[in-house]
A and B are shown apart, each in its own frame.
Chain A
Amino acid sequence: MDRFLDISQLSVAFPRAPVPVLREIDLTIRRGEYVAVIGHSGCGKSTLLNVIAGLLPATAGGVVLEGREVEGPGPDRAVVFQNHSLLPWLTCYQNVKLAVDQTLSRTMSRAARHDWVLENLALVRMTHAKDKRPNEISGGMKQRIGIARALAMRPKVLLLDEPFGALDALTRAHLQDQVMEIHAQRGTTVVMITHDVDEAVLLADRIVMLTNGPNARIGEVLEVELPRPRDRLALAADPRFVAARSAVLEFLHARHANPALAAA
Chain B
Amino acid sequence: MNMLAPKPAAATAALSRPLPAALPRAARLKPVLLQVLPPLLVLAALVGLWEFAASGPGATLPPPSKVWEDARDLIVDPFFDRGGLDKGLFWHLLASLQRVALGFALATVAGVALGLLIGTSDFAMRGLDPLFQVLRTVPPLAWLPLSLAAFREAQPSAIFVIFITSIWPIIINTAVGVRNVPQDYRNVAAVIRLRGPAYFWKILLPAAAPYIFTGLKIGIGLSWLAIIAAEMLIGGVGIGFFIWDAWNSSNLSDIIVALIYVGLVGFALDRLVALAGRLVTHGTAAS
Please report A residues at the B interface, Cβ cutoff 8 Å.
53-55, 72-75, 77-79, 81, 83, 85, 87-89, 98-99, 102-103, 114-115, 118, 127-128, 130-131, 133, 135, 153
Contacts and interface: CB of A to CB of B under 8 A. Distances in A.
Contacts of A87: 185, 188, 203, 206-207
Interface of B: 1, 4-5, 8, 184-185, 187-188, 190-194, 198, 202-203, 206-207, 209, 281-284, 287
Contact of B187 (A73, A103, A135): A73
A55 B284 CA distance: 27
A103 B281 contact: no
Given A114-B1, A131-B5, A135-B283, 9 more contacts: A73-B193, A74-B193, A75-B191, A79-B187, A102-B193, A127-B4, A127-B5, A128-B8, A130-B5
Nearest to B194: A102
B184 A81 contact: yes
Given A115-B1, A135-B284, A83 B184 contact: yes
4 smallest beta-carbon distances between A and B, as pairs: A85-B184, A73-B190, A88-B284, A102-B192
B194 to A, nearest CB: 6
A55 B187 contact: yes
Contact of B192 (A115, A130, A135, A153): A153
A68 to B, nearest CB: 15
A103 B192 contact: yes
B183 to A, nearest CB: 9
27 contacts: A54-B190, A55-B190, A55-B191, A73-B190, A75-B191, A75-B192, A75-B193, A79-B187, A81-B188, A83-B184, A85-B187, A87-B188, A87-B203, A87-B206, A87-B207, A89-B282, A89-B284, A98-B192, A99-B192, A102-B192, A127-B5, A128-B4, A128-B5, A128-B8, A135-B284, A135-B287, A153-B192
A87 B201 CA distance: 13
Given A87-B206, A89-B284, A74 B5 contact: no
